[in-house]
Chains A and B, each alone.
Chain A
Amino acid sequence: MADALQKNRKRNRRVLVTLAALALLLAFACLFAGPSRMSAAESLNALLRRGSSAQIRILWNIRIPRVLAACIAGAGLSVSGLVMQTNLNNPMASPSTLGVSNAAVFGANLSIIAFAGGFLDTGRNVDNFAAGANPYATSVMAFFFAALSILAILGLCRLRSFAPGVVVLAGVAIGSIWTAATTILQFYATDVGLSAAVIWTFGDLGRATYRTDVIMAAVVLAGFLYFVLAGWRLNALLSGDAAAKSMGVSVERLRFFSMLAASLITAVCVSFLGMIGFVGIICPHVVKRLLGQDHRVSLPASALTGSILLLLADTFARSIGQGSALPVGAITSLLGAPFFLAILFSKKGGTR
């Protein structure tokens, strides 16, 4: 018995180490890709702070924050998805199940359309800078509405003791309220405002700066730490609410805090980067198919897989868009979904 268990444990460790190595390697490799057509040697020189100042700036001010953002947001969204799926006992659950993304999009739209907030980017919008507008206005508004939505829905679900079915449906309902409000807002928008608002919703890692990376990293790390600490309780939750309660888990408290943490992670990522779909659904499922549902393994594995997918997608997005990057949100689905289907219908998947 001990031997077989040891073998399982070794395999899991091997997979985690491999994933970590792959993520690191990819992150490094991604520093060499971009629309500026810098050669590998030039990129390496810039990384070592040699070469032209423009090249150094491209690498240190654009590529590194962007790669970091891919790692952080990918990990955050993926882990949030996993925790949502466990908590709601629903394979369709995603980081935005509580309608967080829709609320963030509404907040951003409100900022851009109604207040002409610092849209699109921090540095790029010269007019706003000149006017002294807060470059983070749109992100702040997006986050404010996302947080408002989270609190509203968690408050509502408290009334029904966080029954998973109720939470999912309430999330859909609240999400559709925000979507409807966004539609009305867009109906009254000017052409420029509308296009700016729509472009904002396309997930784009190019908006990342060191400051946004630090904020995202803090939230993602705090959430991840909480999930790891709750690992065994989440494992117990897989046996259903009644069994988990009888094993000593305060199910309602666990569900409240883990959904809060997952939603906050999502809110921060969406507020800074826009919508990046599907990472939170694909990555946890791939991990669960291959490694099972033990959260001691699936949490770190999901985080790493999320980083890897977003790094791949972003590099792809930067490489094929002539001179400007395609929205990474579309690429994650475009790249991820076929891979996901392949795993879903593979033999290995069928036995689980």
Chain B
Amino acid sequence: MLQIQDLTFRYGKRAPVVLDGVSLTLNDGEIGVLMGRNGAGKTTLLKSIVGVERPSGGRILFDGADLLAMTRRDRARLVAYVPQDIQFGDLSVFDSVLAGRMSYFGLKAGREDISAVERILTDMGLEAFASRSVTELSGGERQKIAIARALAQEPKLLIFDEPTGNLDIANEQLIVREARRLAKEKGIGVLTSLHDINQAIDLGDRFFFLKEGRVRYTGGSEQITEAVLRDIFEADVRIAEIEGKRIVINGGFYEE
């Protein structure tokens, strides 16, 4: 279980506050979705959890252990991260995923590291790619490799930052399905930021709406109302119901 308590963040002593006392709780196997406008602090919050940024105050606990006080290696075995801008060196798919095992081996990957990577690649249907260079792959495939690498860390918590940002619809659905499978089958907690509200409704169990560095609203999908969305995004949206599903419409109804 992830517990964030009163987290504050600023990039410098005189810089403006990015996170202003954020608190939230996410259970194992649960998918949490962070929503908010650009600059609301979503990425900073996610980066603080994985140890990329250092918050100025507050606590981040996982199963009671303080993530901020851990060594990078220990944290890497607990929390994995799929960043917004995915980069890879010119390595084979296998080696790229094997890099995720780094917190388990020192100089040379052991047999269990190799077999873990083989298992993950087979599991995700990537075994045919294993010996190819990541640089030859498409955006969706690279995204999957990044997820595979995160899984190689055998994390209990998986952090995604805009995982579907640059993907076409088919790849978007693929990633969303993968995320849900990980949470539901393996009991991994997933915390992600998402722009697309409909995708968020589709994917999330619990929603955290960030505005000006604070969590304004928390709850299940019933929390997502026109009033909440207008407050958070400061834009006009409507919610329609189609086939029993709520669909957020964010355009096409403006009065001339």
B92 close to A242 (CB less than 8 A): no
Residues from chain B with Cβ under 8 Å of A351 in the complex: 136
Given contacts A238-B91, A240-B87, A243-B83, 9 further A-B contacts (CB under 8 A): A1-B130, A1-B131, A231-B107, A239-B149, A246-B50, A246-B79, A248-B73, A292-B92, A293-B91
Interface range for B = 35 or more
Question: A236 near B75 (CB under 8 angstroms)?
Answer: no
Is A131 an interface residue when CB atoms closer than 8 A count as contact? no
Query: Judging by beta carbons under 8 Å apart, are B90 and A293 in contact?
Result: yes
Tell me which residues across on chain B come within 8 A of A249, comparing CB atoms.
72, 102
Inter-chain CA distance A5–B118, complex, in Å, is 11
- Taking the complex as formed, is A247 at the interface, i.e. its CB lies under 8 A from any CB of chain B? yes
Residues of B with C-beta under 8 A to A5: 92, 94, 130-131
Chain A residues 228 to 245 lying within 8 A of chain B, measured CB to CB, are: 229, 231-233, 235-236, 238-243, 245
Q: A232 near B102 (CB under 8 angstroms)?
A: yes
Residues A233 and B102 in contact, CB atoms below 8 Å apart: yes
Residues of B within 8 Å of A248, CB to CB, are: 72-73, 75-77, 102-103
Using a Cβ–Cβ cut-off of 8 Å, how many residues does chain A contribute to the interface with B? 31
Min CB gap A163→B, angstroms: 13
Q: Is the CB of B92 within 8 A of A239?
A: no
- Closest A residue to B85 by beta carbon equals A240
Q: Which residues of A contact B85 (CB under 8 A)?
A: 240
A242 touches B73 (CB 8 A): no
In the bound complex, CA of A58 to CA of B92 (Å): 48
A8 within 8 A of B: yes
A231 CA to B98 CA, complexed, in Å: 13
B contacts, CB < 8 Å to A: 47, 50-52, 72-73, 75-77, 79-81, 83, 85-92, 94-96, 99-100, 102-103, 105, 107, 118, 121-122, 127-128, 130-131, 133, 135-136, 146, 149, 153, 159
Are A247 and B100 in contact, CB atoms less than 8 angstroms apart?
yes
**A351 to B122 Cα, complex, angstroms:** 26
When distances are taken between beta carbons in the complex, the residues of chain B under 8 Å from A4 are 130-131
30 contacts between A and B (CB under 8 A): A1-B118, A1-B121, A2-B118, A4-B130, A5-B131, A86-B89, A235-B89, A238-B88, A238-B91, A239-B86, A239-B88, A239-B149, A241-B52, A242-B47, A242-B52, A242-B81, A242-B83, A243-B87, A243-B146, A246-B51, A246-B83, A247-B149, A248-B72, A248-B73, A248-B76, A249-B72, A288-B90, A292-B89, A294-B89, A352-B133
A7 proximal to B (CB < 8 A): yes
What CA separation (Å) do A233 and B159 show in the bound complex? 21
The distance from the CB of B85 to the nearest CB of chain A, in whole angstroms, is 7
Tell me whether chain A's interface is mostly helix, strand or loop, or mixed.
helix
Whether A235 and B91, one on each chain, are in contact in the complex, defined by CB atoms closer than 8 angstroms, is: yes
| 7 closest cross-chain pairs (CB), A and B | A238-B89, A248-B76, A4-B131, A246-B81, A248-B103, A293-B89, A293-B90
Assembled-state Cα–Cα distance A322/B146 (Å): 58
Fill in one digit per residue for A234-277: 1 if any B CB lies within 8 Å of its CB, else 0.
01101111110111111000000000000000000000000000
Residue of B nearest to A6 (CB): B131
B119 to chain A, nearest CB (A): 11
Task: Find A245's partner among B50, B99, B136, B159 (CB 8 Å cutoff).
Answer: B50
Contact status A243-B81, CB under 8 Å: yes
By beta carbon, the residue of chain A nearest B92 is A8
Name A253's closest neighbour in chain B (CB-CB).
B72
B135–A1 CB distance below 8 A: no
Chain B residues whose C-beta falls within 8 Å of the C-beta of A293 in the assembled complex: 89-91
Chain B residues with CB under 8 Å of A2's CB are 118
| Chain A residue nearest to B161 in the complex (CB) | A242
